A and B are shown apart, each in its own frame.
Chain A
Amino acid sequence: MSNINEDTVARIARLARLKLEPEQLAPMATELTSILDWVEQLGEVDTDGIEPMASPVDAKLVWRDDAVSDGNIQDKVLKNAPRREYGFFAVPKVIE
């Protein structure tokens, strides 16, 4: 049995940079615990020597020429920015 308590939810929410209100922690802990209990059944399956499958296709990445094929689209890149300054994305102050 897995047991995700409120502290664990708060910890993973922090890792995921996801703000949860204090009253959201308990219901989320209950839901995640029930989902984890349900997935525990995978423990029944013998997977010794089985290669993990990351993708349904053989991921052979294709080489391309090392040449500039894009660029000079600053306006397009910044078009949807919530805040931009001097041609950059602007964010709240990081360094005091």
Chain B
Amino acid sequence: MTDLTKFTIAEARDGLRKGDITSRELTEAHIAAIEAADVLNAYIVKTPEKALAMADAADARVKAGDAPAMAGIPIGIKDLFATEGVRTTACSHILDGFEPAYESTVTQNLWDAGAVMLGKLNMDEFAMGSSNENSYYGPVKNPWRAEGSNEHFVPGGSSGGSVASVAAYTAMGATASDTGGSIRQPASFTGTVGVKPTYGRCSRYGMVAFASSLDQAGPVTRTVRDAAIMLEAMTGYDPKDSTSINREVPNFEAALTGDIRGKTIGIPKEYRLDETPEDILKLWDQGIGWLKDAGANVVDVSLPHTKYALPTYYIVAPAEASSNLARYDGVRYGLRDVPQGGNLTDMYETTRGHGFGDEVKRRVLMGTYVLSAGYYDAYYLKAQRVRQLIAKDFRDAFESVDALLTPTAPSAAFAFGSKSNDPIAMYLNDVFTVPASLAGLPGASVPAGLSADGLPLGLQVLTPAFDEMTLFTICGVLEEAAAFTAKPDAWWTA
């Protein structure tokens, strides 16, 4: 019998439209796969009854001749997205038991397009982390292990549950969010495709806020075509988000022409770091070769302020986070902790002290410090000025190139605990993804090869703002040339 969980979204869509399969069959296969994969800890809330009801509704819709792109496709939702009546905590203790009374725009768009919700996916608390070790619900295990080893590795973060569920065939696709690399870095660690669109493409309404000028939703899937299909369903103008962009959403799938002849691809020299492992540099060179073979011109470019992107990010993001997270005060939702005889201030302080994890506390304090009187100009305004220069670097580069090609992350997946005691070592994971986040540009990670240890590695493509079409065209060419067919052995079902 065909294993329905192995279908791509595109295959399932075509099968559903032809009547070869039903969404109920697809959904039941995924519910069974989720049950068998508990050890990964990717799902923190499972919604099988809701999924089957949505599947039946999708089947009825398809039968009536109304089959939008995502109709009947079972997906997982990062716990960052508010889902009406379904617990949403951003994997923080402080949102204990929170059941939103409204739906996020991105998930509503997916349900309107017929998608089926399997459950909520694990993540770093409030999306702060690069390894999924900061979740109140415990870490996620990467479905991939090194060749010949039983040791477990992190799936990357913050969208660790999203990538693990897709890599382990327990979802056909998953929503994710990217503030400094939280879609692309975990996609690289798990051999999945992760796309962060231009800032403003996806509505942030109903997305638990981390850093509002950086947060952007996107899909994680197993193929570039699937990412194009899913992203198209997620995006669109939303009056409920003041930074949502009112622009027509193109047919992203139509970008998969395979034709990049005459395109110019820039290779930013500042991304060639001394400490980058040999296998990653080699893969990057291979990627350059693939694009040349497909008829692209490849040229060196310079993004001179690259090295300042991470320090800039670690001022801007915590500043915005400290402000956004002020809303968690124990008054209106989630955890409330009042010491015996305590007053209102005691309640705020105790609730927040108990409700936030270590990394969240660190960033709230860092953000409060850089915004405090006497330091605001020296840190926060300075970082915002450097951010302007980083964005200008990209604008200048895109005067002469159509896209940039870089590695996605400076390493393959790493072992649990290996970086969790050194915040800066953990932050360095995002060295190649953060610059484009600061500039608000679209970027994607495509699985391109294996590390010396047999772990997946991704290559990153970046394009100018709102040019996701070129992004998908190039990603499609890379995917085909890389012919990445390696799969994790399914140890988690044992």
What are the residues of chain B within 8 A of A92 when measuring CB–CB? 338, 342-344, 346-347
Q: Is the CB of B385 within 8 A of A53?
A: yes
Bound: A8/B389 CA distance, A:
31
A42 → chain B, closest Cβ, in Å?
A: 5
Q: Which of B315, B372, B465 contacts A39 (CB 8 A)?
A: B315
What are the residues of chain B within 8 A of A12 when measuring CB–CB? 365, 368-369, 372
Contact A56/B368 with A76-B101, A82-B335 known, Cβ cut-off 8 Å: no
What are the residues of chain B within 8 A of A73 when measuring CB–CB? 101
Q: Which of B312, B331, B366 contacts A91 (CB 8 A)?
A: B331
Stretch of B122-130, B238-246, B410-418 lying at the A interface: B238-246
B314 → chain A, closest Cβ, in Å?
A: 6
With CB as the reference atom, state the residue of chain B lying closest to A64: B239
Q: Is the CB of B388 within 8 A of A51?
A: yes
What are the residues of chain A within 8 A of B382 when measuring CB–CB? 42-43, 47
With CB as the reference atom, state the residue of chain A lying closest to B99: A80
Q: Is the CB of A80 within 8 A of B200?
A: no
Bound: A17/B348 CA distance, A:
6
Q: Is the CB of B361 within 8 A of A45?
A: no
Q: Which of A20, A80, A89 contacts B361 (CB 8 A)?
A: A20
Complex interface residues of chain A between 1 and 30 (CB less than 8 A to chain B): 4, 8-9, 12-13, 15-21, 28
B303 → chain A, closest Cβ, in Å?
A: 14
Q: Is the CB of A50 within 8 A of B329?
A: no
What are the residues of chain B within 8 A of A9 when measuring CB–CB? 365
Stretch of B62-70, B143-151, B255-263, B350-358 lying at the A interface: B350-358
Q: Is the CB of A17 within 8 A of B330?
A: no
Bound: A36/B199 CA distance, A:
28
Q: Can you list, as one digit per residue, whether each of B309-352 has a CB less than 8 Å from chain A (1) or not (0)? A: 00110110000001000100111111110100011111111101
Q: Can you list, as one digit per residue, whether each of A84-96 has a CB less than 8 Å from chain B (1) or not (0)? A: 0000010111100
B391 → chain A, closest Cβ, in Å?
A: 6
A52 within 8 Å of B (CB atoms): yes
Q: Is the CB of B368 within 8 A of A15?
A: yes
Contact A52/B369 with A17-B348, A41-B311 known, Cβ cut-off 8 Å: no
Q: Is the CB of B239 within 8 A of A62?
A: yes
Q: Is the CB of B389 within 8 A of A47?
A: yes
Q: Is the CB of A17 within 8 A of B385?
A: no
What are the residues of chain B within 8 A of A34 when measuring CB–CB? 423-424
What are the residues of chain A within 8 A of B365 when measuring CB–CB? 9, 12-13, 16, 18, 28, 32
Bound: A81/B97 CA distance, A:
10
B290 within 8 Å of A (CB atoms): no
B443 within 8 Å of A (CB atoms): no
A55 within 8 Å of B (CB atoms): yes
B172 within 8 Å of A (CB atoms): no
Number of B interface residues in the complex (CB < 8 A):
69
Q: Can you list, as one digit per residue, whether each of B350-393 has a CB less than 8 Å from chain A (1) or not (0)? A: 10111010000110111011001000000101111111110100
Q: Which of A45, A51, A55 contacts B213 (CB 8 A)?
A: A55
Bound: A80/B347 CA distance, A:
17
With CB as the reference atom, state the residue of chain A lying closest to B347: A92
Bound: A55/B308 CA distance, A:
18
A23 → chain B, closest Cβ, in Å?
A: 13
What are the residues of chain A within 8 A of B137 when measuring CB–CB? none
A16 → chain B, closest Cβ, in Å?
A: 4
B471 within 8 Å of A (CB atoms): no
Bound: A55/B354 CA distance, A:
32
Q: Is the CB of A56 within 8 A of B99?
A: no
A88 → chain B, closest Cβ, in Å?
A: 11
Q: Can you list, as one digit per residue, whether each of A54-92 has a CB less than 8 Å from chain B (1) or not (0)? A: 111101011010000000010011011111000001011
B98 within 8 Å of A (CB atoms): yes
Contact A91/B347 with A15-B372, A32-B366, A42-B311 known, Cβ cut-off 8 Å: yes
What are the residues of chain B within 8 A of A20 when measuring CB–CB? 353, 361
What are the residues of chain A within 8 A of B330 when measuring CB–CB? 82
A43 → chain B, closest Cβ, in Å?
A: 8
Bound: A16/B441 CA distance, A:
32
Contact A89/B331 with A52-B385, A56-B200 known, Cβ cut-off 8 Å: yes
Top 6 A-B residue pairs of the complex, sorted by shortest distance between their CB atoms: A56-B440, A19-B353, A52-B384, A82-B336, A80-B333, A47-B385
17 new A-B contacts, CB < 8 A, other than A17-B352, A35-B423, are A12-B368, A16-B365, A17-B348, A19-B350, A19-B353, A32-B365, A35-B366, A38-B311, A42-B382, A45-B386, A50-B388, A53-B387, A54-B384, A55-B440, A57-B243, A76-B102, A93-B344
B interface residues, Cβ below 8 angstroms from A: 97-99, 101-102, 199-200, 213, 239, 242-243, 245, 305, 307-308, 311-312, 314-315, 322, 326, 329-336, 338, 342-350, 352-354, 356, 361-362, 364-366, 368-369, 372, 379, 381-389, 391, 423-424, 438-441, 465
A interface residues, Cβ below 8 angstroms from B: 4, 8-9, 12-13, 15-21, 28, 31-32, 34-36, 38-39, 41-45, 47, 50-57, 59, 61-62, 64, 73, 76-77, 79-83, 89, 91-94
